[in-house]
Amino acid sequence: MTKNHDLIHWVNKWAELMTPDKIYWCDGSEEENQHLLNGMVSSGMAVRLNDKLRPNSYYFQSDPSDVARVESRTFICSESREDAGPTNNWHDPEQMKTTLREHYKGCMKGRTMYVIPFCMGPLHSDISHLGVQLTDSPYVVVNMRITTRMGKEVLALIDHSDIFVPCVHSVGYPLEPGQPDVKWPCAPIERKYIAHFPETREIWSFGSGYGGNALLGKKCFALRIASTLALDEGWMAEHMLILGITNPQGEKKYFVAAFPSACGKTNLAMLTPTLPGWKVETIGDDIAWLEFRHDGRLYAVNPENGFFGVAPCTSMDTNPNAMLSVSKNALFTNVGLTPDGDVWWEGIGHDMPPGTMDWKGRFHEPTHCEPIAHLNSRFTAPASQCPSIDPDWENPMGVPISAILFGGRRATTVPLILEARNWDHGVFMGSTIGSEVTAAAIGLKPGVRRDPFAMLPFCGYNMGDYFAHWIEMGKCTRPELLPKIFTVNWFRKKEGQFLWPGYCENSRILAYIFDRCNNERKTENTPLGVIPATGEINTEGLDITTEQLEQLFRIDPDEWKDEVDSIDEHYNKFSHLPAELHNELEMLKINLGL
């Protein structure tokens, strides 16, 4: 329990509104965690997996209406609509709070309200921030224990600092006396709300029990609220992995990379290189907080404590480190459940055992055409269990960044790798990234959408101002100390077939980027930027033809005319677009002869 009177008052105020049967202050202990998991097994919400196959691991199935982030029900409630910008769903903050207070009234009846003190970032790091989440979901508690630093130590820090981000969450499913609970309580989609209040640094979530809608330390805090903190305080909160890479001579560098959800961030963060003598280590797979430090270099910290990764297509072939990370003490949601008490998903690397149950609780029949695991099914595992975890993954100072990568799923148009000419050109490339829509979000039409910096669903303020913040950050140090910026595209196709093998073979691209950070390797200038000269990508041992390599770097004028038109349309959304990006677009048109 805390001695912080403001925190106690805040908790009691919400308890009076939501009327839980009891209030429980989480201490983060293993005993507490086991008690909650045992309770969910008893209630039918969880299944304990076979301890001989996957020790201390648990299986969950969500309601079919509650399987992913709900962007249409996610709101930025800033005082001015202009501050939210054209890419966010804006709502007046007082009106939203009035609406949600009505929803919250009595919403925890028959349930326990859990008080979760948590820290985003390593304890005692000067870039870390503290939060407290209220929730009526034990599923949220056990996931937050893995994905954040949570418990007594954090509560002591809150007592000392008296500063925290208040986060309120309810599944929105109260219980009357004697009313049986359901396996996965949640509200209908039209009653789901994920609301952010940037001026007051608050998060209010209602109606969903899943993922980024309910684990409020993740996308809600570490990106949407943190991005507004970063704007005010002069740093950056980004949807980026962080990895360390060491060459055969023992030299080490750190890269960050921004890809939209389900575009391979976790696989790249935990990559096992196929090139002899190279080594990749993991700092984080999803979010990076970055700031320039006293030596003029950009440093990155992973604010998370665990992985909440996409399960399908994860295997010992595609990502052995992820598979080993979830070998014990893991949680699985919406994958398949095998008869012997293990998990299965499409692309796991072995045939599905007969009698496997799908994510909807149905036993598989040969006539079923739906996938066994939902496309956005997840695993949750402690980062400390990852075999490739970097020794500095919890360094409170962070790690120095040499390169920034942007990418997405593009079947055509975009080369395998492209290097920016300078920082502003790199910001232009990041601001125009496009990707095919994935299963990580509900309510989006298939096709390619612009997802600048992979932050479209996660920027907590006007994205034009966000672009300007990136431009200004490039002025924080000398040009020679700025990281190099690249775009990558593992997903280019011809006649429906991928041209690049991807997965662990992406180490060949990382090795090229490593050498470019040392100003090594021959390059060629193109209208788009800098590409490797012929033969500079190590393809030894790959089954890839000269024609395929040429296609991977082909710049089709007709495709790029359409691309430029699309970028023009994209930029026209922003009244706050920096002049530097207008200039970069005009230069691209000139270079392409348009």
Is the pLDDT score of 300 beyond 90? Answer: yes
Write out the H or E segment, with its range, that includes residue 197: strand 193-197
Please tell me whether residues 118 and 254 are part of one structural domain: no
- What pLDDT does 434 receive? 87
Q: Are residues 258 and 224 in the same domain?
A: no
pLDDT over 70 percentage in the chain: 97
Task: Report the alpha-carbon distance of residue 360 to residue 374 in Å, rounded.
Answer: 9
Q: Examine the domain organization and report whether 400 and 486 are in the same domain.
A: yes
- In angstroms, rounded to a whole number, what is the distance separating the alpha carbons of residues 80 and 421? 36
State which amino acid sits at residue 351: D
Q: Could you tell me if 211 and 264 lie in one domain?
A: no
Residue 341 lies in a domain: no
Strands 399-407 and 484-488: parallel
Q: Give the mean pLDDT of 409-422.
A: 95
> For residue 57, is it within any domain?
no
**Domain tally, the chain:** 2
CA–CA separation, 101 and 162 (whole Å): 25
Q: Provide the whole-model pTM.
A: 0.95
Is the pLDDT at 439 greater than 60, yes or no?
no
Q: What pLDDT, on the 0 to 100 scale, is given for residue 393?
A: 98
Beta bridge partners of 115: 25, 134
- How far apart (Å, rounded) are the C-alpha atoms in residues 569 and 449? 11
* Inside any domain, residue 399: yes
The stretch 406-432 carries a mean pLDDT of 96
pLDDT band at 365 (very low <50, low <70, confident <90, very high): confident
pLDDT at 123: 94
On whether both 132 and 260 belong to a single domain, the answer is no
Instruction: Give the CATH number, domain containing residue 87.
Output: 3.40.449.10
The length of the chain is: 594
Residues 173 and 265 in one domain: no
Question: Which of 193, 216, 233 is at the close of a domain?
Answer: 233
Least confident of 3-12, 298-307, 475-484, 516-525: 3-12
Strands 149-150 and 112-120: antiparallel
Within a domain: residue 334?
Answer: no
Which of 213, 233, 253 is where one domain is finished?
233
Residue in 354, 348, 378 with CA at minimum distance from that of residue 366: 354
Give me the domain span that covers residue 126: 5-46+68-233
- Please give the backbone phi and psi of residue 558, each rounded to the nearest 5 degrees, phi first: -65, -45
User: Tokens 């790091």, residue?
Assistant: 125
Q: Which member of 263, 313, 386, 459 is catalytic?
A: 263
Residues 161 and 252 in one domain: no
Residue 384 belongs to some domain of the structure: no
User: Do 572 and 484 lie in a common domain?
Assistant: yes
Residues above pLDDT 90, as percent of the chain = 92
Q: Which of 174, 205, 233 lies at the terminal end of a domain, its last residue?
A: 233
- Is 263 annotated in the active site? yes
Task: Please name the residue that has the structure tokens 């041209």.
Answer: 499
Local confidence band at 449 (pLDDT 50, 70, 90 cut-offs): confident
- Residue for token digits 């418990």? 151
Same domain, 513 and 553: yes
pLDDT of residue 440: 52
Residue 275 within a domain: yes
* Residue 179 falls inside a structural domain: yes
CB count in 10 Å sphere of residue 525: 11
- Of 330, 393, 415, which Cα lies nearest the Cα of 54? 330
pLDDT of residue 4: 87
Tokens 């076979």 belong to 50
Residues 220 and 271 placed together within one structural domain of the fold: no
Closest CA to 244 of 280, 285, 286: 280
- Same domain for 151 and 286: no
- Of 213-222, 378-387, 429-438, 559-568, least confident by mean pLDDT is 429-438
* Band (143; pLDDT cuts 50, 70, 90): very high
* Structural domain includes residue 55: no
pLDDT, one tens digit per residue, over 48-59 is 999 999 999 999
CATH number of residue 449's parent domain: 3.90.228.20
Q: Are 396 and 292 part of one and the same domain?
A: yes
Question: Range with the lowest mean pLDDT among 1-10, 111-120, 201-210, 304-313?
Answer: 1-10
